[in-house]
């Protein structure tokens, strides 16, 4: 059926030609429901040619006009929210209201992009020397590209291209081939909102498409979100090809619970942070570091109670707390990690394996898993699992907890639960992590701040979305201007000019 083909969006048209394609599954049923086309060289060439053609006119469009396209897109996204979220749930598996949360965050990035006239202001200095003025302009860099992961098919692309195009660039988006439909629909809405053809092209694909973006000289900048090994590959390959690159990788976010914390509050927050969206979030909390055994015991007790109340089932039923994992291979991999944890000697307090969801027996459902006595060195401590597996680590002091975090290879997000101002300030100052929560388990920065981890969680210097994205998607041009005064001939100066 042609309706089950997910194509590319190139120069304003859906393109479904090409030789290669791949199945898209509904993880709640295990059925292949669609085929997504995989871009080959000619598709990539078409996308690049389209972007090149669109650029000159778009970069000359006043920022206010570009921003107003974003305002209209925001309205269309709100109007089409149900349709978009349904596509997310069908292909990713997450519960519908979780999809709505994702979309709402994405919309806020569209809103921020609509502030472009303010964000693109340059700096003007009068009289940098006698009658000499100088100012900066933040000009678009040309064709920019984004490569995005499966776990937020609506939100992560919206971190990137709205700001890129609001800054006057063209953008080529390669979303995840596992759940491409919501991404594509949103791009079509952008056209409806008035984005000219070619300003945003969407190509579905795999490594062939990625490598085309990484090596083609027409691509000036690349934003990536995914796992650390790929992020590292993107960063080094893109940079070796002379591009600017920001590549966001993996995470293993620790949450610290202090003895003075409101344990009930911490438990509630951790349930969402650990198991929401099956833990398939780079900001999820898979590790809790309890300071003191009493704290650990109380936490474990609370978590067990809450886990017992959880409902697992298809994401289309909003009474469920957790849907399926995204694919069968991922389900197998996460399940395997649970076995590894047991083998490594951690105490499996709650085992979510073997869960059956009536009527969805082929779905990739895994219940919440909880380990106690997880320790550094264990693979379940060290590696990113990306599943509903929470481990409790026991330490004696805040400093011990912080030392653990600072020694870990990742530095994406972290959180402390405490009532104490001093503990919170010391923690947030000295922790080697890019996004810090104080009694906030998922400290995802709002759209008007920027998102980024430290250490091996991000390669590059500028973070995603927010103010940093404006700088990433623009080139600085500095103009220095002096107008000749009539009849004045200045003597030649062979020395380097100063402001003296």
Stretch 451-470 residues interacting with its own copies (CB under 8 A):
451-452, 454, 456, 459-463, 467-468
Tokens of residue 89, six digits: 């749930």
Nearer to its own copies, 42 or 265 (CB): 265
Q: Does 443 bind its own copies (CB under 8 A)?
A: yes
Per DSSP, helices labelled H in 28-80 are 41-60, 63-79
CB closer to its own copies out of 12 and 117: 117
Query: Closer CB to its own copies, residue 333 or residue 471?
Result: 471
Which CB, 333 or 475, lies closer to its own copies? 475
Nearer to its own copies, 2 or 493 (CB): 493
**477 interacts with its own copies by CB under 8 A:** yes
Select the residue interacting with its own copies from 80, 134, 362, 406 (CB under 8 A). 134
The reply to whether 211 sits near its own copies by the rule CB under 8 A is: no
CB of 293 to its own copies, least distance (A): 21
> What's the min distance (Å) between Cβ of 241 and its own copies?
8
Q: By C-alpha distance, which of 23, 27, 22 is closest to 387?
A: 27
Contact 133, 126 (CB under 8 A): yes
Q: How far apart are CA 120 and CA 138, in angstroms?
A: 6
Distance (Å, whole) CA 384 – CA 250:
7
Which residues inside 58-87 make contact with its own copies, applying CB under 8 A? 60-65, 67-68, 71, 74-75
- Tell me how far, at minimum, the Cβ of 200 lies from its own copies, in Å: 20
Of 95-103, 171-179, 183-191, 250-258: span binding its own copies (CB under 8 A) = 95-103
Q: Which of 318, 299, 315 is nearest to 307 (CA)?
A: 299
Q: Is residue 43 a contact partner of residue 8, using CB atoms and an 8 Å limit?
A: yes
Closest separation in Å from C-beta 430 to its own copies:
9
Query: What are residue 32's DSSP bridge partners?
Result: 25
Give residues with Cβ within 8 angstroms of 212, minimum separation 6: 39, 41, 44
CB of 179 to its own copies, least distance (A): 15
- The size of the interface with its own copies (CB under 8 A), counted in residues, is 136
Given a contact cutoff of 8 angstroms between Cβ atoms, the answer to whether 247 and 224 are in contact is: yes
Site for its own copies in 272-331 (CB under 8 A): 272, 275-277, 281, 306, 321-322
User: What's the half-sphere exposure (Cβ side, CA atoms, 13 Å) at 220?
Assistant: 17
Q: What's the token pair of residue 144?
A: 């920019």
The answer to whether residue 397 forms part of the interface with its own copies (CB under 8 A) is: no
Residues in 111-130 that interact with its own copies by CB under 8 A: 111-112, 114-115, 117-130
**Near its own copies by CB under 8 A: residue from 435, 457, 465, 469:** 435
Q: Should residue 163 be labelled a site residue for its own copies when binding is judged by CB under 8 A?
A: no
Q: Which residues are catalytic?
A: 282
Separation between Cα atoms, residue 306 and residue 315, nearest integer Å? 19
Q: Does 334 bind its own copies (CB under 8 A)?
A: no
List beta partners, residue 13: 10
Q: How far apart are CA 3 and CA 34, in angstroms?
A: 8
Instruction: Answer whether 38's CB lies under 8 Å from 208's CB.
Output: yes
What is d(CA 474, CA 121) in angstroms, rounded to the nearest whole number?
A: 12
Among positions 224-243, residues that touch its own copies (CB under 8 A) are: 232, 235-236, 239-240, 242
| Least distance from its own copies to the Cβ atom of residue 328, Å | 23
């Amino acid at each position: 059926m042609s309706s089950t083909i997910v194509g590319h969006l190139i120069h304003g048209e859906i393109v479904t030609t090409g030789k290669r394609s791949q199945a898209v599954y509904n993880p709640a049923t295990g059925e292949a429901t669609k085929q997504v086309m995989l871009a080959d060289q000619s598709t990539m060439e078409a996308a690049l040619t389209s972007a090149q053609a669109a650029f000159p006119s778009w970069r000359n469009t006043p920022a206010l006009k570009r921003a107003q396209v974003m305002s209209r897109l925001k309205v269309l996204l709100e109007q089409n929210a149900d349709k978009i979220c349904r596509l997310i749930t069908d292909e990713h598996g997450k519960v519908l209201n979780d999809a709505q949360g994702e979309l709402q965050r994405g919309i806020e990035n569209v809103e921020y992009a609509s502030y472009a006239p303010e964000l693109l202001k340059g700096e003007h200095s009068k009289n940098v020397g006698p009658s000499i003025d100088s100012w900066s302009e933040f000009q678009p860099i040309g064709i920019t590209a984004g490569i995005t992961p499966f776990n937020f098919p609506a939100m992560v692309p919206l971190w990137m291209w709205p700001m890129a195009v609001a800054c006057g660039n063209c953008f080529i988006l390669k979303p995840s081939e596992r759940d491409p439909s919501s991404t594509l629909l949103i791009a079509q809405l952008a056209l409806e909102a008035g984005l000219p053809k070619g300003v945003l092209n969407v190509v579905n694909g795999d490594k062939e498409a990625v490598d085309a973006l990484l090596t083609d000289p027409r691509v000036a900048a690349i934003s990536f979100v995914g796992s650390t090994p790929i992020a590292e590959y993107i960063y080094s390959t893109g940079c070796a090809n002379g591009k600017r690159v920001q590549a966001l990788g993996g995470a293993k976010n620790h949450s610290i619970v202090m003895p003075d914390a409101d344990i009930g509050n911490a438990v509630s927050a951790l349930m969402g942070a650990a198991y929401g969206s099956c833990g398939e979030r780079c900001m999820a909390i898979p590790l809790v570091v309890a300071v003191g055994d009493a704290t650990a015991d109380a936490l474990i007790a609370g978590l067990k109670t809450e886990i017992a109340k959880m409902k697992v089932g298809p994401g289309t039923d909003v009474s469920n707390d957790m849907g399926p994992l995204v694919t069968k291979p991922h389900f197998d991999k996460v399940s395997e990690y649970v076995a590894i944890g047991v083998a490594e000697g951690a105490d499996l307090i709650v085992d979510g394996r073997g869960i059956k969801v009536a009527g969805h027996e082929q779905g990739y459902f895994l219940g919440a898993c909880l380990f106690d006595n997880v320790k550094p060195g264990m693979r379940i401590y060290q590696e990113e699992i990306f599943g509903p597996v929470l481990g409790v680590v026991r330490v004696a002091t805040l400093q011990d907890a912080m030392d653990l975090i600072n020694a870990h290879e990742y530095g994406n997000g972290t959180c402390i639960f405490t009532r104490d101002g001093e503990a919170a300030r010391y923690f947030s100052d000295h922790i080697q992590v890019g996004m810090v929560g104080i009694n906030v388990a998922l400290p995802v920065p709002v759209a008007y701040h920027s998102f980024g981890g430290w250490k091996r969680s991000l390669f590059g210097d500028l973070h995603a979305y927010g103010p940093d994205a404006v700088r990433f998607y623009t080139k600085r041009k500095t103009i220095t201007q002096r107008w000749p005064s009539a009849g004045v001939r200045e003597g030649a100066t062979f020395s380097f000019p100063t402001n003296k």
